[in-house]
Structure 1
Amino acid sequence: MGKQYYTIGMAGHIDHGKTTLTKALTSVDTDRLKEEKERNISIEPGFAPLYQDEDMEISVVDVPGHERFIRQMIAGVAGIDLVVLVVAADEGVMPQTKEHLDILALLGITKGIVVLTKISKVEEELRDMALEEVIDELKGTVFEGAHVLMADSISGEGVQELKQKVVNVLKSMTSRSIRGDFRLPIDQVFTVKGQGAVVRGTVFEGTLETGEGITILPQGIHTKAKQIQAHHMKESSAYAGQRAAINLSGVDYKELRRGNVLVTSTHFTVTNTIDVCLEVLHTVNHPIKQRMPVVVHVGTSEVMGRLVFFDRNKVISETDPILCQIRLNESIVAKRGDRFILRRPSPIETIGGGWIIQPNGGKYKFGKETMAFLQSERHGTPQERVLRLVEQYKCVDEDFIVREASITHKDLHDMLQVDDEWIVFSQSKVTHMKIVDECVKSIDQILRGFHEEFPLLQGINIGELKQSLKRYTGALVDYAIEQKHWKRNSGFLCLEEFIPHLPPEWEKRCNQLITLLEADGTQVKDKEEYFHQVGIPLKWQTDFYHFFIQEKKIVPLDDKKSYSYQVFMKAVEELKEKTGDLFDIADAKAALGLSRKYLIPFLEKLDKDGLTLRTQGIRKWIGNSIKG
């Protein structure tokens, strides 16, 4: 399985001993800023190594507890696997304790350990009361039934027991996947003299190697991982679940900020519209109104946006999840399943949070139809989401599917291999037999209509067919054509049972025309005279003329004159018999007895169709068949 990497978070009310407990556990003071030392409070998240052996590495993040630094707290707990909720025994559960609990639950963090700290400050009876209060407050939350321990950071009582409990709980958990595409939301940016820009964060997923190419989103800045460190130790790689510092090559640190994301693939969505499943906290003090401004926290990013409902205009209290949309003022990086927190900018309060259904939301109308669509997006399986994309776009790139359906390449490939209804063309184009069948029916319908309108023609030009099927790609049309036994001839397509034919009402006159043409032999009149003679109107003449050529009834000499097919072939055979392999105009005239009026077009037709090759007035026989 390889080494497992985890990050845990210390959360709780201000001055309940999170930083002191972190120092007792790790021997690291995570309050590194001057103002943090002066004010004795944590302003920015602090990080430290907690535990490491050959199988496991654990980092700890100490997040600010003051209500004014909730935004830093949210950024700090993004990406943690387990939380240690710290409650001071001498104060008990406080407002920030409850808000941290709400935020952790909304972020999907369900594994936690509760620690009563500062136990040396209170008598045993007060400890027991504080313990009962904590257990009671956890009822109905995701941390109901969590392990509750006691520890004192000054005396060291219970500290090692807590550390061992963290290790044991994490050993029972599945670590983050190192197989997916690498993603690291940045929570700290700084510069090191002589080294350049450095960013820190918790690796959400995937693996990064030293020297590997990186893209910084949403800016789209391309760079490389010049150096990787974990807790000040140089590493060759960074893995999902690990705290890492990445030294970036050729990037000005002033271009970067918290909330940017490092990735190594093109499959992540940069978006400013997200469809979400929102859970509203029961503690909300003010109505939530349609299109009200909100502060949105996703990963380590914090952006302003507007909340858009499609089935209501106001929320006063709601216990069921609400399917809605958030339109952001700035672009973020997101994928399906990412958790988010919503806060009201004024008056400041945490409204709720939830998860992203579709990171690339569209423009929808208010009403039931949109709600039904969002429900299908919410509950849809990966296969259903991919099928919806294919139904919309007919034939799509694998990379597009990975990005828009929020599915990994591995899961997509597994799905395509298991179900033979999926079809993969060259260049990783994907479609489904359902779409192929739909395309086949469309082609069939077009062919039937074409044959009814143009019964004289052998079929529709395949290029024209593709033009009339713009909703399908050319590769998909080609595949659909291969699936059904239509007749294909020289770039034309027709129904298998179709035979070009004259309209019944004109068949007799057309046959008369061919008879007249044959009767005139090699001394033919202009084609318009024959049409006039049998009474075929001008609007039909071009179509009938091409039909006669197509069906080898006539052979055109030039724009005006044609021979019947039989007369032409007889003249060719006669010329061959009366000349050798080489002949000139005089030889041809002697053989056929034609005037230059007919002889020159006849000989040029032989050249054009490849029956003869002319060189300086001398022709040589080289072919046996004629073109239309």
Structure 2
Amino acid sequence: MHVIATAGHVDHGKSTLVRALTGMEPDRWAEERRRGMTIDLGFAWTTLGSGEVVAFVDVPGHERFVPNMLAGIGPVPAALVVVAADEGWMPQSAEHLAALNALGVSHGLLVVTRSDLFDPALATAEAQEQIAATSLGAVDAVAVSAVTGAGLDDLRAALDALVARLPAPDRDAPVRLWVDRSFTIRGAGTVVTGTLGAGRLRPNDELELAASGRPVRVRGLQSLGAPVAEAAAVARVAVNLRGIERDEVGRGDALVTPGRFHRTDVVDVRLAGDPVADLPSTLTLHVGSAAVAVRIRPLGVDTARLRLDAALPLRVGDRALLRDPGRHHVAGGVTVLDVSPPPLRRRGAAAARARELSTMDGVPSQSDELRRRGLVRRPELERMGVPAAGTPVAGDWLADPDHWSALRKRLAEEVADYARDHPLETGAPVDALRHALGLPDRALVDALVAPPLTARSGRIAQAGQGSSLPGPVADAVDRVRADLEGDPFRAPEAARLAELGLGPRELAAAVRAGALVRVADGVVLLPGALDEAVAVLSRVSQPFTLSDARQALGTSRRVAVPLLEMLDRSGATRRLPDDRRVVAGEVDG
């Protein structure tokens, strides 16, 4: 299927033309037919001679209903510009054409109606001249009379040629169905309609309402008035939604594939049309079927930041238009450059951002996004509309190669600085390094570690760091070793440790370096003391009491209690129900 919008000033002529082509009535409301004026969007379809099916979105022509018109042309890839031979080019035709140009619609056809009433040559020449200056460029023209039928066969042939030129849609893309109608059918529930520009839909698909993030499920699908098992882009579709009320969804909302769109209320854009500096501070942004008020902050000659009154599911490269409803004026087209722009808080940030935006073209590029951001999660890139590839550096994080190399160099510098400032520690804590490098995830710090750096127990150190002690600490440990020479289990008292300058930090460093063994807070022995204690206790009559152990080891209760508990935990000794112990492997006495 192909979907084409019928635009132009002549409401009655457009509706009559669509009716003559399709045999269907595009004006859905009795008021429209009574007044001969299209008020809201109309829909009809036909099969061309080639067998291709074309669906028409008939948009209002009157200036009072331009928002409705924009909701209809927003998601449509091609347009019929309809002009009446007896009226020629009209101001409202110019606004419709300006909207198509702003949205970048590049495929179209000129149809001059009422050719039975007036020679179409003048209207055709004038309209083609106007259209040629827009994104539509040079278009074919067909003169018709819906009353006599003259030219309708030529129009069908021209439509066949037009649809043959349309680019193939991406049917594997995520779904973003802009809603242009919502209503209730008794026995079925809420139904929404829209133009499916990319992707495909099936019953039971899970989607999200973009406005609220609420999950919804497709109950059923129709296309061109008939149930279908699958709707693939490009297509007009009616989607029956399960478990949602009619007032929870409406025009301007969108059904989207979960997790694949960035819902944003701040975007940086490039504008084509009125000079950015001349724009009023507030305009209306039209994208898809949505229309939201935006505040404009000029940044560069043709770039600006838009702050939306309501968040929308936008992606890099999206086309939209800005309109001044008070002046009935299309201010220009918008190309979305960034859907997650950085804050502008520092002096000079706006000017720097303008320079950066001047290099951006709105074409999604992973390498460009990584270069600008340094680090990005793969799902975040995909939500921006940027295809993601390559191997993540950690988890789902993708990194710009130059930025990653610079981070690795900075990590080594930070570790070296930490070692200089904290000589008693065996390395820098990972969280401290994460903050120093401004990284959002500690897994990134771990991933940066490479020789000569090593990671252990939540710290990162230079190779060999912590294996030797500062001179004063090493001297103090030597004096502890001398004290324990003849009494290996008579641990130094707190006063002796303080006299030697071995406070908690120095003791911790000595334990990490393997120079001492911590038995309890403030209780340290020499390496090998545990094995020696087991050897001594194995010569004691089994089982033995705490008092037996204390006497055999020649130490105090202050040392014996935590030492035996440590041996219990290691499995070297086993504690019995009566609080006596045996050395593992010894027979109970």
User: Does residue 51 of the first structure (1) align with residue 20 of the second (2)?
Assistant: no
1:307 is the counterpart of 2:293:
no
Tell me the number of residue pairs that the alignment of Structure 1 and Structure 2 aligns.
581
Q: For residue 75 of structure 1, give the secondary structure of its aligned residue in structure 2.
A: helix
1:466/1:614 CA distance change after superposition, 3 Å:
farther
Q: Which runs of 5+ in 1 are unaligned?
A: 312-320, 417-421, 624-628
1:461 is displaced (CA, Å) by: 5.4
**Matches of residues 26-425 of structure 1 in structure 2 within 5 Å?**
26-51=22-47, 56-122=52-118, 126-281=119-274, 288-291=278-281, 293-311=282-300, 322-361=302-341, 363-364=343-344, 367-378=350-361, 381-388=364-371, 391=374, 394=375, 396=377, 398-403=378-383, 405-407=384-386, 411-412=387-388, 415-416=389-390, 422-423=391-392, 425=394
Partner of 1:25: 21
Structure 1 position 435, deviation (Å): 5.2
The secondary structure found in structure 2 opposite 1:149 is strand
User: Whole-Å Cα distance in 1 between the matches of residues 13 and 531 of structure 2?
Assistant: 105
Q: Secondary structure in 1 aligned to 2:418?
A: helix
Picking from 520, 532, 546, the partner of 2:508 is: 546
Q: Pick from 449, 452, 464: which aligns with 2:420?
A: 452
Tell me the CA shift for residue 159 of structure 1.
Answer: 0.4
**1:40 CA drift (Å):** 0.9
Over the residues paired in the alignment, what is the CA RMSD in angstroms? 3.3
Q: Does 2:583 correspond to 1:614? A: no
CA distance in 1, matches of 2:491, 2:123: 115
d(CA) in 2 for partners of 1:250 and 1:595?
A: 75
Q: Work out whether residues 395 and 472 of structure 1, in 8 Å CA contact, stay in contact via their aligned partners in 2.
A: no
| Paired residue type of 1:154 | V
Partner SS for 1:60: strand
- Give unmatched runs, 5+ long, in structure 2: none
Between 256-265 and 216-225, the greater mean CA deviation after superposition? 216-225
1:475–1:73 CA distance, 2 compared to 1 (3 A): same
Cα distance, 1:139 vs structure 2: 4.1
Measure, in 2, the Cα distance between the counterparts of 1:375 and 1:326: 16
Instruction: Indicate the larger mover: 511-520 or 67-76.
Output: 511-520
Q: Would you say 1:478 and 2:446 are equivalent positions?
A: yes
- Is contact 2:103-2:319 (8 Å) kept? yes
User: Which amino acid in 1 is paired with 2:574?
Assistant: L
2:8 paired residue number: 12
Q: Displacement of 1:21 after TM fit?
A: 1.2
Residues 588-615 of structure 1: CA distance to partner in whole angstroms, max 9, x if unpaired? 5786666767666654553355422222
Asked if the contact 2:75–2:289 (Cα under 8 Å) also holds between the matched residues in 1, the reply is no
Q: Which one-letter code corresponds to 2:447 in the other structure?
A: Y
- Which string of whole-angstrom CA distances, capped at 9 and with x for unpartnered residues, describes residues 175-216 of structure 1? 321111112111122222333222221112211112322322
Matched residue SS, 2:392: strand
For the Cα contact (< 8 Å) 1:395–1:476, is it kept in 2?
Answer: no
State yes or no: 1:573 paired with 2:535.
Answer: yes
Q: How many percent of aligned residue pairs carry the same amino acid?
A: 27
Q: Is the 1:16–1:88 Cα contact (8 Å) retained in structure 2?
A: no
Partner secondary structure for residue 479 of structure 1:
helix
Alignment-mate amino acid for residue 383 of structure 1: Q
Cα 1:434–1:573 shift into 2, 3 Å? farther
In the alignment, the residues of structure 1 paired with residue 558 and residue 191 of structure 2 have an alpha-carbon distance, to the nearest angstrom, of 87
The CA distance in 1 between the partners of 2:407 and 2:477, in whole Å, is: 37
What SS does structure 2 have at the residue aligned with 1:198?
Answer: strand
How many Å separate the matches in 1 of 2:313 and 2:565?
A: 68
**Distance change (3 Å), C-alpha of 1:430 and 1:138:** closer
- Higher mean alpha-carbon deviation, 110-119 vs 547-556, is at 547-556
Which string of whole-angstrom CA distances, capped at 9 and with x for unpartnered residues, describes residues 313-348 of structure 1?
Answer: xxxxxxxx7211222223333222222222213233
- Tell me if structure 2 keeps the 8 A contact 1:455–1:500: no
Q: Does the CA contact (< 8 Å) of 1:14 and 1:96 recur in 2?
A: no
Distance 2:358 2:71 in 1: 29
Q: Which amino acid aligns with 2:506?
A: F
Q: TM-score by structure 1 length?
A: 0.82
**Structure 1 residues 141, 334: CA separation in 2 closer, same or farther (over 3 Å shift)?**
same
**1:540-597 Cα deviation digits (max 9, x unpaired):** 5333333444444444555555544467755543444x34775556765786666767
